[in-house]
Structures are given as structure tokens and as C-alpha cells.
A and B are shown apart, each in its own frame.
Chain A
Amino acid sequence: MPTLLQKLFSKRAVGNDNGNARDCSTAAEQCWASSEFDLAQIRLIVYQDCERRGRQVLFDSKAIHKLDASEPTADETKTPPNRSGACHIGSQASEKDKPPTYQYTRPASDVNMLGEMMFGSVSMSYKGSTLKIHHIRSPPQLMVSKVFSTRFGSSTSGSTNTLQDSFESMSQTFPSHTSSIAHSNPVDMPSRGHSEDGDSGIARSASLSSLLATPLPSPGSSFSSGCASSYQRRWLRSQATSLQHGPMPRWNTEEMFSLSDESCSSNPAMIRRKKIAISIIISLPEREEENHNFQEFFFSHFPLFESHMNKLKTAIERAMIVCRRIAESSQRVQVYLCRVMEALGEFRMTVWNLYMAPRISEPVWLSMISQSTERNLLCQRFLKEMSLLMDHGAKSQFLSALLTAVLTHHLAWVPTVMPSSLPPIKTACQKPASHTVDLLAKSHPYNPLWAQLGDLYGALGSPVRVCRTVVVGRRRELVQRVLYILSYFIRCSDLQEHVQPQGQMENPDNPTNPCSSQTTDPTPEKTFPPKPDPLKPTACVIEKALNPESVPGTFVEQNNDTLLTDTKSTNPSSSLESSTVRPECTEMGQECFGEDGDSVGGGLEHILANQSPLLHRVQFHIGSPRETENEGQAGGLSRAGCGRGLDRKLHQRLLTDIRRNESSDSALGDSDDEETSLQELYMATEQKEYELPLPSYQVESRASVNHFGRSLLGGYCPQYMPDFALHGISSDLGLKQCLMSDLEHTVLHPALDEPVAEALCIVADTDRLSVQVVTSQRRVCEGGRLGRDVMVSNLVYTLITSVLQLYALNIASDFCVMHLEDRLQELYFKSRSLAEYLRGQTRVHVKELGLALGIESSDIPLLAAVASTHSPYVAQILL
């Protein structure tokens, strides 16, 4: 038996029993990390940019050394992380120990440059937070910065002890910080902030953003669109992030750096022209491949990194507030350094874990949908594991409770059982890929990685809840079995990546290479037949139209080429996969005639017939540019009746745009002449653009590696992982320490990039055979327990038993899995009748539900959650 599981999980992770960090790290090799990731590779800098004082480094982890005699290593970051001791990072543990003493030396020589990069050479007056990412070439580093405006409460305005004072004195007088500190009273500047906001656009779109944040009611009772809820989520996302609506500040704009305990809303804020930047600098591996791998991982998983940075920011805020209360300077600095170092340590561990932790190498659901050939084998393995687990926890209904919880909160399975209205394309009974979602992705691109993250966290319901599942247990094999089974029920879409094949990039005809024909000869006039100047299209068209002799022979041929390739690329079925089409633009930019019209005859007529768009243009472009201008105005006059109103509207909008722009970034106003003339720039003309064919190119499709479906389904990890949608750990010690704060953090700074109403965590303990759900909403649980126990849904229980009984009767496992899907579909249908039942009810009669709909009270939480994915009103009725 262990051999099977060993295959399913990474081998090293299974073999690793001693908690040795090195072993664990290599276990993750299959996933991303091709080498050890050193904690010292992560550096933290906190910088302040004050109007009055200029820029100051408030923290640089490179300049901090541990002075503790008990710890021989001066720089703790040099030691590889000790997995078993990792939980000591937690705050409670460190309080027990004597806090280490830190020495703050002079910041490294590069901080000035880094400060420039963080704040920019011109400071911005924008009040919200700004995100920046820099790539530093040598030594190769990535720098992620968040720049915040600061916020003071009234209480601190009288405070004399400020951290920067301490730092100033400290870095000057170091190592003896005994000298008294130069006290200063920061002067409050007149607030610019609040009045500014009125027309900054935030108020304008606040209603819109909140509207987009709440899911809309789903399409009535129609069953026609199988993936209705998936579709809707994605459609809303594409609309919410659309550029066509212009900038649309969303829910988290007002993020600031708080320097006071009090919330700003309760008292009039004193906003000083002061910014604080928090930067994480990650040294990139030197080997090219490792460097590439890490970057791919980093950028695809950025929301998680960002979420942890937000956590770090909160800790730094706290550190600054707490240390300001301490009168004695050196002690104040020590408290500050200690707290920030602790937060940094946690950040480093989290990132290290995220990159290095073992993963389920073959998650059942994703493997099934990506490799249909191995389906039978996968089904056999899956059912075998499930029946073993069922036997194990039979008395306590462990599996039923766990699946009840997982199906209730990781809701991405629902769209995968909603019946499709389309006939199956390939083999019968294979689940079809959603056609509507596919179309949407093409015409209104949204971020598939975002969609996947939401799927994994189960953020499909209304209100949006996110959930993770942690399986706890000392018996590795058992935990891994549970993880393996759950990787079938915790679902998400599979991602494919379409990239240019190797070698295609170097091809001079590559569409990204705008100078393909030019690279060989920068002076084409001498070698090519006279080409019309693209900057003077009028002349050339007229010339061609009137002077058939002047059209070179090659021209017609090329033109035919173009038309051929054009029709090829317009074939919808070929799309991106269609054969390579030369980017015609370079030589014949303006000679591409768009669609092939009816050809009237040979010779000139033929050409003319094919270039109708150009002929159309000719009407607008006779004579010199100046004359064209006049013509355009004349045309405008003749159409004045219909054009004027529009003009006025547009001007008005432009003016407001400009005004808004001026008010919000006066710092950039140095070259505004472009904008002042804007109103004149907009002119109502009916000009049509020159149509060029869209370059097409060969793509190679491959399964994407760097996606959340592969990275967030963890294996048996040595430590609790806050990001994973699913993972196992040996003990819930670390969990108890940080789970609540993690859930609270998730609600405040969701990696999902959309507002979240509640964060949950399912904790399944394989030792005690208990399943609990911990929520961000209820702090207190009786008897020191993490959360509340899960009530087993009768529907889930019968579902599992009948599937496993079928399996026990030696029915083909493939069929058993199909039956499982059918039974899940029954749950979906039941949720529809529950939703319909609730539509007219103010009070729920549980008995009636049981009699008429076959829904028992134990099923209601599950079915209500499922119903909330297609009928958002359900949550309101049941709450």
C-alpha cells in the first residue's frame, strides 16, 4: 500500500521523516524549485519620504545583525530554515524566549539608489498605495515596493518621540545609543487630502465598484447554460478590469500606512506629506534556468506574495506604533527591530514554504481532465484510496463529515456537474468543456489564473467566502490518502499555456519584430521598387488608382498573397493554431486591402474592386494635409446638425478628465501643453483607419506548470501553509497559533483581489477523526477548540456509501466515478429546488423540506451553499 501512495506523492517527501529541511526542499524539486532557496535572498527595506526631512531608511535587513551571544550566527538569515523549529517564528513562542538583541549598522551603499526607485524622482501626490516592481540587473534582483501615504491619529500629533528621531540619533551615535535624542515636534501640514478626493474619481465609481463586487442574480431558472455561475464570475471580472471603462478604483484604494492606533475615520485626520515605502528585494538565483523558474513562479503567484507583503506591512505598522510608546530610545529601537525582524522572519518562511513545500504531484481531478487516457487507472486508484479511508473512519463518519465540509465550502465542483445543454463532442458522458466560457475568454479576456484561484478557494458563492482545508495527523500515509481523495473534490479549471515554439522568437518574421525587413537593409529605397510612403497614403493611393502603369508587377502578386493569407487567418477554426502567416505589414502596410470584395475583372478594375477601403479613404485625402484639414472642417459643418451635440458632450468629458488629472497629479504638470490643446485635438471626422491584417503565428500549446491548480494543492508539509487550498501537517500546534490571524488577514487582504465576506478553514484531524470548520467570523469556541464540528449531510453520506458499495460489487471504477458525478449532480438539482422553495418563503419548514424535497436539516448548509452559487438570494433568506 505505501508504494502506491509513494508514487502519488513526491518520493522524497514520503521518505523524509526526520523533518530535515534539506530533504524537504529537494522533495519540491518536481514542482518549481530547482535549487535551495536561501532565506537571506529576501531583504526588507522600509523607507520614508518626508517633505520636510527628505528620505530616510527606517529599516534595512541587510544592516541588521543579531547580537545575541547564545546564537553564534550573527546573521540568522544565513542558517537554512529548520523545519521542525519553524513554528518558533510565531509570536507566542518568541515571547517566551528572551528576545534577541539586534545591532543596526549603517545601511548598505545601494539604499540611496533603491530609495530613488521606490519613490521615483518626482513625488506623486496620489494618496492611495502605489505598487512597483523593479528588476535590477546586477546583481540580479527583483524589488517589489508598496508606497503608502501615512495617516496619523490625533494622539500622536502631540507625541515627541518619533522613530525616525531614534534612527537618526542611532545611526549617528551608534554603537552607543546612550545619548539623548533630539526631540522634535512634527508640524502638521494643512490637509490636502480630503477635499482632493471629491473629484478624483473615487466617489464617482464607488457605486460601480461595489455593484461589481456583489454578484448579480443568476439567470432565472433556465438550465440552458451549464456554467452559468462560472461564466458570470468571469464576465464580471472582465468588465470590472476593463480598460474601456477607464480607470475605476475598486475596493481597496484607500490603503494607507497607519501611524496611530486610532482609526482615521473617527477623528479628523492629519495627513502629512509623508510617504512610507516597504520594499522586498529578492536576490535571483545566478543560474539562468533557476532564475527563469523562480521568476515564472514569482510572477504567476504574485497575488500570494502581495498578500504576505500586506501582512508584513501591518506588522511594521504595529511595530512603529508600539515602539513609539517606549520612552527610552535604545529600548525603543530594540523593540522596533525585534518586531520587524520577527515579521520579516515569518514572511521569509512563508515565501520559502510557498516555493519549496511538497505538492500532490498527481491531483486526481486535474489529472483526470488533462490525461483522459489514464482515466481508468486514476479511477481505480481513487476509489481504492477512498474505500480504505472509509473503512478507517467508519465509526466516526470521518469521510462523510470531511466531504460534507469540503463540498459545502470548496464550491468549484458545482459548475462541473451543472448539466450542459450541448451534445458531447467526443465520447459520450465525458464532461464537455464549457463553450460559453471559452468564447468569453477570447472576446473579453480575463485572467485565467485569477479564475483558478477563486475556484480553488471555493469563492463561487454569494456572499464570497474563501476556504482552505488542512489535514492534520501524525500518520503520514493516512494524511496523504486524505489529501489524495480531496484532490478530486477540490476542483479548478486546468490551464494551458500557448507560447511561441523554440526558435520562433528568433525568426525575423516574428510579429514582435517591427523592423524585420529593415534589419538587413536600412535603406530600402535603393533596393526595393518604389514603395509608397506610409506617411503619405493619399498620394500613393491616388497614384495607384489613376496610374495603372505605375503599379509594379510584383505589387499585384504580393497583394494576392496578402489576400490569401488574410482569408486563412479569418477562418475561425484555425485561429491561433493556423499556420504561420508572414507579417505583411512591413513591406505592404498600406497595401493590404482588407476583405476581398467582388472582383469585377482583371487589371486595374480588379485592383480597384479589391481596395474599396482605400478608395473610400481617397475621398477624404485629396491634396496637402492642410487642405485635408479644411475639407474635414467643411465636412464637419455640413454634418453640424448631428455632430455638434456629440462634440459638446465630448468636450465636457475631456475637460473633466483634464481637471481631474490636474488636481490629482500636479507634480506631473510640467508638460501639460499636450493636454491643454486636447479639446482642439478632438475633432469629429469620419476617417477610417487603414486596415492591416492581424499577424498570426504558430503557437505551441502546453500544460501550464505555474498555475495554482498545481501549486496550491500541497502534500504532507512539515509546517502549516497559509496559502495552500489543501495540504497536510503533522500537528495542529502551529495551526492553533496563527490560524485565526491568518483568516482575519485573508478577509482584510484577500489574495483573490476581490472583497471577501468570510474566510474559512476546514481542519480534518486524522488522529482524532474529527472535522472542524474555523471561520474568521467567530472568534470564541468553547473548550479551546479551533472551530465547530461539522454535521454530516445525509445526502453526502448516502452518496459515498452507494459509490463505495458499487465499487465493492466490482463494478468498473470508471463507472463508479461516473455515478459519483451523477450523484453530485443530484445535489445540484436539489439545491435548485431548495432555492426555488426559498424564493417564496419567509420561514423554512424543515419538516416540509424533508417530506417534499427529501432535504434533511443536515443537508441544508450544504445545499444552501450550493444554491448560493446560482441563486444569490438564498444566503439572505437563510441568514
Chain B
Amino acid sequence: MNALVALCHFCELHGPRTLFCTEAVHPPSPSPPQPGSAIPGDRDREADREGEGLTMRANSSATQRADMCEGCRSLPASHPGFVSVDSETGIRYLSHQHPRQPQLFSVVRQACVRSLSCEVCPGREGPIFFGDEQHGFVFSHTFFIKDSLARGFQRWYSIVVVAMDRIYLINSWPFLLRHLRQTIQSLQDTALKVFDNEQCVCPQRAVRMNSAFSPAVFPHQRSGNAARSLTSLTQHPNLWASLHSSFSWLLKACGSRLTEKLLEGAPTEDTLVLIERQTEQEEERSGWDGAEGGGSNPQPSQSESVQPKDFQFDDGRQEDLLGPKFKSLRHLRQVLGANDFRQLAWHVLMGNQVIWRGADPGLIQSAFNVLKALLPVGCVRAVLYSPHYEEAYRCNFLALTHVSSSEFSMLVDVLNVERGCVNPVSDDDILSLYHEFFLNVSFSWFVFLSGPTLLNKIEVALSNENLSVEVVSLCLLCLKEEWMNKVKVLFKFSKVDGRGKEDTQKVLALLGATGPGEEDNVRLLKFWMTGLSKLYKSHLMTAVRGGERTLSQ
């Protein structure tokens, strides 16, 4: 808890005194929300850390000695104090006679004085809460400790818990009261036994009644008696170490008494697929030498083992490659022109294979990088730099270095790009270059009047120059998530529940997939289903079984 605990004593000679104080020193924030958000208070903390080696100690000068009797002291001047470290959280609990942080000294002093000489508690023993914004807030519990030599045979103490969070401290009242009572009870019981022992040996009441009152001797006697420490009153040699442990525990337990269960949203399908691919790769790598069938894919092992990683996770790699690059979908659209881009995007969205053929791998990779943003991560299967054609089921993005095949759905030929261009080419250059590109489009059934709803919306966003690239990419994200949610419903409906055609039509209608472009929409949904994470699919399958059980009950 963000608080400190102190044991205070009302010394008969010196008034209210802080005896022992345990404070919690928190580690720097795990990850502050923003680098710029360092609050001014942080500087204070810096300063504190600078002064880490500083310890408050009682001065040994004669005057100090006179001001501090045994009763006002816990640890001797030379004692370095105690520390306990909570290794899980990094919080350090420090105990000294006075708080080590200078700004807390006066806070504790104030709490001590108020608890023992200002605030009034009926019966003088018991809990009080008091405080204000300037001096902090205090939960205080006052109590007596038996002392056969003290006036009235008892001494007055208090344990104070000081915090700045008023509400938190008040919320913790029942907890603090319960546990401080126990600590106090333990001290009192121990002291009572010592008291009884001492009274057996030498009954003070009798001594006092029998000794003649002499004004000359009285003050001397009293001051001599006033100097008993709490260690002596409890005959507990390790009292301070024990109190340190008790107080540290109290601070920790009070801070973790209530915990929040705070949920965040489920990860997106893209995140899940990325995680799954990563785990697969790790497993693959660890089981590399294991017997892999290999019959189905004899040659492309080198391309396959490299490409998913490079493509999915290592976008930075394209920075290494020189030459012109596509920077965004909008850029690609500008270069290709609206019509060609629409064709290309249509094929990408439908899951048709898109082959880019050319001599500049950097350019092609940048094109794939912007194009893959059109699809859910799970739908992207790309092969880069393949010397020969790959089947469509293996990849929907293929970069060919050599012209070799005639089996394709969409072929983009990149011509005339100078290789190894040393100077980076600017946007304008790439545009001018394109005029020399030759786009070889050859597919049999190129008729789409309406196109999928998704594509139309993307085009609106791309064509609106008012929207920044960031807005467009967020807009694309929205659209993809929206359609992934439809994909989920369709998957559940058709694959998991296996509903009939009529029902499916109803679902398509409620998903807003019917109407113009319905055929394309359905095609898109079906293709995107392949991009669902395994986790999600298996969850739905098991949920069905679970759900059926509930229904049958």
C-alpha cells in the first residue's frame, strides 16, 4: 500500500516522539504510459534515489543525548535500519527510527503529534482517522503499555498509518483495525508479563507509597525512570526486527487486500494467427531434424522456410533493398491507375493468385506489403523470389524472378526497372517509371460491375485525398474487422452448425452481404474463412458440444 506505518510514543520527558517507521519504496513505474508524461514529482523521486545512502540517525552530541532518552528511541544511532524486499513487485520496505525520505519526516512528525497530543479518543485507547490534504491522512490507534516504573504504571503509544489516499485509507479501516489490534495486543500482553514479573520482585506501589516524597529527589527519580525503552518493557531483544516484519507485512497485505479482475477484449484474429504461426515456426525449428515427409514439396523448402517469416514479421527488411518502392495502397493505386488497381485488389480479396514478375525484388516485396493489408493475416500466403511457378493452393502472392509459366490468375509484369539503382528513387520517379511498366492482364472472366462491398468502400477511402494514410489504414482495419466478424458468423452457421441454404441466405441478409455484389461478397467471405485462427475454429467446435449439453439439460 502506498502508505507508511510508524510507532509513536508520548515520552514523559520529551512529549510525542516517532520511535520507528516503516515505509514502502516503490520501484519506478513498470511502463509509464508515455515518455513525456513524467510528472514533476518524478524529479523528487530522482532526488530521493540520489540520496539513497542517506540515513536519519540520532546525533551523538551531548545535547542530542539529553533530548532523546531511551524511551524516545528505537534503534541506536549506529543501527542501519531494516529492509525487506518484495521480490515479486520490487517494493522495498525500509524501517528506521524516522522516515528516510525527508519530505515525509514532517508528515510523520505531524501525524505523531496529532495522534498523541491533539486528537481525542474516548477512553484514550482506540482507532481514529484524521487528516487533511496538506498533511496527509492518518489512521491512528493509541494504546497503553504497562511499565512498573512509569507514572500511572503505564506508557502511552500509538501506531499510525499515513497515506495520501484518503479514500483508500478509510476503505482499509476494518482491515487495519483488525491487524493493528493484534499487534498491539501482542505488545501489551508481553509487556504485562514483564510488568507482573517486575511487580513480584519489587512491588512499585509499595515502594512509592513508602518512599517519602522529597521535592529534591523527585525530578531526578522521574527522569531516571522515564528512560525505559519498549525493548526493555517487553523484554524482547529483537522487538524492532519483529515490528519491521509486522509493519512490512501490514503494508503489503493492505495493498493487496483487494484485487481487480479487469478484462480486456479478446485478441483479434490477426493477432491469434500471428501467434499461431510463430509457435509453429518455433516448433518447426526445434523439430527440424525430425523426419519430415517432404514428398509433396521437394524443392521449395528453401523458399517456404524463409518467406513466411520474412514476409510477416520482418517488414524492416525491405528497407535494405534499394530502388523504388510502393509506400501505401494509395501510392500503388496512383501508380497502377484506378482501373488496374481495382482489378488487382479484386483478385487479392477473392483469394486469387497474384503473380508479380520482375527483376526488382524490392519493388515487388513492397507491393506485396501494401497489398497484404487488404487481407486478414491468416489469408496471406506469399512466396517471394521463386524461380518457378508455385501452385495457387500454396500461395496467393507469388513473386517470380523468371517468366516460366502460363498458369496464373493475375499477372503483373514489372518491366524496365533498372536494377541496382544506387540513388533512392522518389515518388515521382516511380510514377514515371510506371509508364514504362507493362501490365499483362490475362484472365478469362473479368467482369465485375458491382464488386464486393468491401472493395467499393476501400476505394472510396483511397480516392479521398483528404484522408491521411493513417486514417485510410485505420479505415481499412475497421472494414477488415467488420468483415471478419461476418466471416465468423458464416463459419459458425455453415461449417459448425451445418445449416441449410435457406437459413444461410437469411444470415447473409442480416450480415449485409446480400444485394449488389452478393456473389462477390459470398466469395470473399468464403475465402476469408480460411484465414480464421485454429484456436477460434476449435473453440467454436467445442463450444457447440458444450452448448448442446446445456440445451439438453
Tell me if A441 is interfacial: C-beta within 8 Å of chain B.
yes
**How close is A798's CB to chain B, nearest CB, in angstroms?**
8
List B residues 480-496 near A (Cβ within 8 Å).
Answer: 481-482, 485, 488-489, 492-493
Q: Please, how many angstroms separate the alpha-carbon atoms of A299 and B37 in the complex? A: 33
Taking a contact as CB atoms under 8 Å apart, the answer to whether B510 and A514 are in contact is no
In the complex, besides A303-B167, A431-B263, 6 extra interface pairs with C-beta distance below 8 angstroms are A418-B264, A447-B171, A511-B249, A572-B87, A690-B241, A821-B266
Knowing A243-B2, A668-B110 are in contact, say whether A826-B481 is a contact too (CB < 8 A).
yes
Contact assessment for B263 and A369 in the assembled complex, using a CB-CB cutoff below 8 Å:
yes
Tell me the smallest distance from the CB of A552 to a CB of chain B, in Å.
16
Which residues of chain B from 218 to 273 have any CB-CB distance to chain A below 8 Å in the complex?
A: 231, 234-246, 248-250, 252-253, 255-268, 271-272
The residues of B that contact A444 with a CB separation of less than 8 Å are 2, 26, 29-30
Chain B residues near A585: list those with CB within 8 A: 238, 241-242, 244-245
Q: How far is the CB of A567 from chain B (nearest CB, A)?
A: 10
Interface magnitude class on chain B? 35 or more
In the assembled complex, the Cα of A499 lies from the Cα of B254 at a distance in Å of: 10
Instruction: Let me know if A617 is at the binding interface, CB within 8 A.
Output: yes
> B186: which of A130, A242, A514, A830 is its contact (CB, 8 Å)?
A514
Tell me the residues in window 85-123 of chain B with beta carbons closer than 8 Å to chain A beta carbons. Answer: 85-91, 93-96, 98, 101-107, 109-110, 113-114, 117-123
Q: Which residues from B are CB-within-8-Å of A245?
A: 41, 44-45, 103, 164
Number of CB contacts from chain A to chain B under 8 A? 624
Counting CB contacts under 8 A, is B317 at the interface?
no
A476 at interface by CB-CB < 8 Å: no
Chain A residue with the shortest CB-CB distance to B246 = A514
Which of B33, B84, B96, B264 is close to A420, meaning CB atoms less than 8 Å apart?
Answer: B264
CB pair B134–A494 under 8 Å, yes or no, is no
**Which residues of A have CB within 8 Å of B1?**
445
- Complex alpha-carbon distance, A173 and B82, angstroms: 64
Nearest Cβ on chain B to A803's Cβ, whole angstroms: 10
Task: Report how far A671 CA is from B1 CA in the complex, Å.
Answer: 30
Q: Which of A429, A668, A854 contacts B457 (CB 8 A)?
A: A854
Contact bitstring A144-173, B, C-beta under 8 A = 1, else 0: 000000000000000000000000000000
Mask: chain A, 532-564; 1 = CB below 8 Å from B; 0 = not? 011111100000000000000000000000000
Give the A interface residue count (CB, 8 A).
Answer: 215
- Complex CA distance for A753 and B137, rounded to whole angstroms: 14
Please determine whether B133 and A252 come into contact, CB atoms closer than 8 angstroms.
yes
Name A415's contact: one of B117, B264, B492 (CB within 8 Å). B264
Cβ 8 A contact of B249, one of A230, A450, A625, A697: A697
Within 8 A of A (CB), among B42-80: 44-45, 47-48, 50-51, 53-61, 63-64, 67, 75-80
Contacts of A505 in B (CB 8 A): 178, 182
- Which one of A11-19, A599-607, A646-654, A728-736 contacts B? A646-654
Contact between B243 and A433, CB atoms less than 8 A apart: no
- Decide if A207 touches B2 in the complex (CB within 8 Å): no
Asked if residues B130 and A132 are in contact (CB atoms below 8 Å), the reply is yes
Given contacts A428-B539, A681-B59, contact A657 B102 (CB under 8 A): yes
Contact bitstring B268-304, A, C-beta under 8 A = 1, else 0:
1001100100000000000000000000000000000
In the assembly, what is the distance between CA of A680 and CA of B54, in Å?
12
Q: Give B61's nearest chain A residue, CB to CB.
A: A680
Are B467's CB and A837's CB within 8 A?
Answer: yes
B15, B102, B488, B546: most-surrounded residue (chain A CB, <10 A): B102
Residues from chain B with a CB closer than 8 A to the CB of A201 are: 134
Is B271 touching A242 in the complex (CB atoms < 8 A)? no
- Measured in the bound complex, the distance between the Cα atoms of B85 and A569 in whole Å is 11
Q: Which of B189-197, B335-343, B388-396, B430-438 contacts A (4 or more CB under 8 A)?
A: B189-197
Interface stretch of the complex, out of A219-227, A312-320, A712-720: A219-227
Closest to B131 in A: A131
Which residues on the B side are within 8 Å of A812 (C-beta)?
543-544, 547
Q: If the complex has contacts A243-B164, A535-B79, A675-B109, are A300 and B182 also in contact, measured as CB distance less than 8 A? A: no
Which has the most chain A C-beta neighbours within 10 Å: B30, B259, B482, B550?
B259
Interface: A687 (CB within 8 A): yes
What are 17 pairs between A and B in contact, CB < 8 Å?
A: A117-B122, A124-B114, A126-B132, A133-B129, A244-B2, A244-B26, A248-B41, A419-B268, A424-B266, A432-B263, A434-B263, A495-B259, A498-B253, A515-B187, A668-B117, A694-B85, A851-B464
Asked, given contacts A697-B249, A852-B460, whether A376 binds B474 with beta carbons under 8 Å apart, the answer is no
A254 CB to nearest B CB, Å: 9
CB nearest neighbor in B for A689: B83
- B106, B162, B479, most chain A CB atoms within 10 A: B106
B535 with A424: CB separation less than 8 A = yes
Query: Shortest CB–CB separation between residue B167 and chain A, in angstroms?
Result: 5
B420 within 8 A of A: no
A186 vs B506: C-alpha distance when bound (angstroms): 83
Q: Looking across the interface, which residue of chain B has its beta carbon closest to that of A432? A: B264
CB contacts (< 8 Å) of B466 on chain A: these are 845, 848
B81 within 8 A of A: yes
Nearest Cβ in chain A — how far from B176, in angstroms?
10
Docked Cα-Cα span, A207 to B367, in Å, equals 50
* Complex-state Cα separation, A150 to B479, whole angstroms: 61
Bound-state Cα–Cα, A493 to B159, Å? 33
A510 within 8 A of B: yes
Task: Say yes or no for A262: interface residue by CB 8 A criterion.
Answer: no
User: Is A439 located at the chain interface by the 8 A CB criterion?
Assistant: yes
Cα distance A773–B547 when bound, in Å? Answer: 39
List chain B residues, Cβ under 8 A from A7. none
| A241-B163 contact given A416-B263, A437-B260, CB 8 Å threshold | yes
Q: Is A423 an interface residue (CB 8 A)?
A: yes
* A681 adjacent to B58 (CB under 8 Å): yes
The distance in angstroms between the C-alpha atoms of A155 and B293, with both chains bound, is: 97
Contact with B along A652-666 (1 / 0, CB 8 A): 011001101100110
Least CB distance from B197 to A in Å reads 7
With the chains together, A625 CA to B80 CA distance in Å?
12
